[in-house]
Amino acid sequence: MNPMTEMFDFNKNMEAFAKFYPDMAVAPPVKAMTDMAEKYRTVTLEAMNRNMELTTAWMRDAARDAATLMVADASPDAYARKAGEMATTAIQDLPGRLMAYADVARKAQADLMETVLPATAQAAATASETAKAARPARKTA
């Protein structure tokens, strides 16, 4: 294979590996890994969608506020007052908006820990059982 002209054929290589190890997809370590990856994907998508909702709401509010500045006014002082009110409101809203993002991150971390901790305990138990089974029987005199 010439890496400059040919693409790596992942499917072809996976088919060759599947012939070598046909039960790979249902092997306990692979099954555990795919289950965990599925949970990670679900948590990630939920967090990403919630972050997009927060960002969209923030941008919608910013556009609405910007529209108030675009209204014609005879006095330059009125523009300055409007801009000052918008800036004050934005600064006051900032901690709440950032906390909403932090809550999304905290929930995602908690959800992932609910997946990792049981899996870690199960992996430790499986490793312990495997080690005990592989240990040769001791001769007693």
In this prediction, what percent of the chain has a pLDDT beyond 70? 82
What average pLDDT is seen over the chain?
A: 82
Domains of the chain: which residue ranges? 28-105
Expressed in percent and rounded to 5, the helix, strand and coil fractions of the chain are 80, 0, 20
For the chain, the C-alpha Rg in angstroms (whole number) is 29
Residue 140 binned pLDDT confidence (cut-offs 50, 70, 90): low
- Closest-CA residue to 98 (of 61, 65, 51, 140): 51
Cα separation of 76 and 68, whole Å? 14
One-letter amino acid of 21? Y
> Considering the entire predicted model, what is its pTM?
0.64
List, in order, residues 6 or more apart from 20 with CB less than 8 Å away. none
Contact 25, 17 (CB under 8 A): no
Residue 7 binned pLDDT confidence (cut-offs 50, 70, 90): low
Cα separation of 72 and 55, whole Å? 29
- Lowest mean pLDDT across 14-18, 59-63, 82-86: 14-18
Cα separation of 89 and 124, whole Å? 52
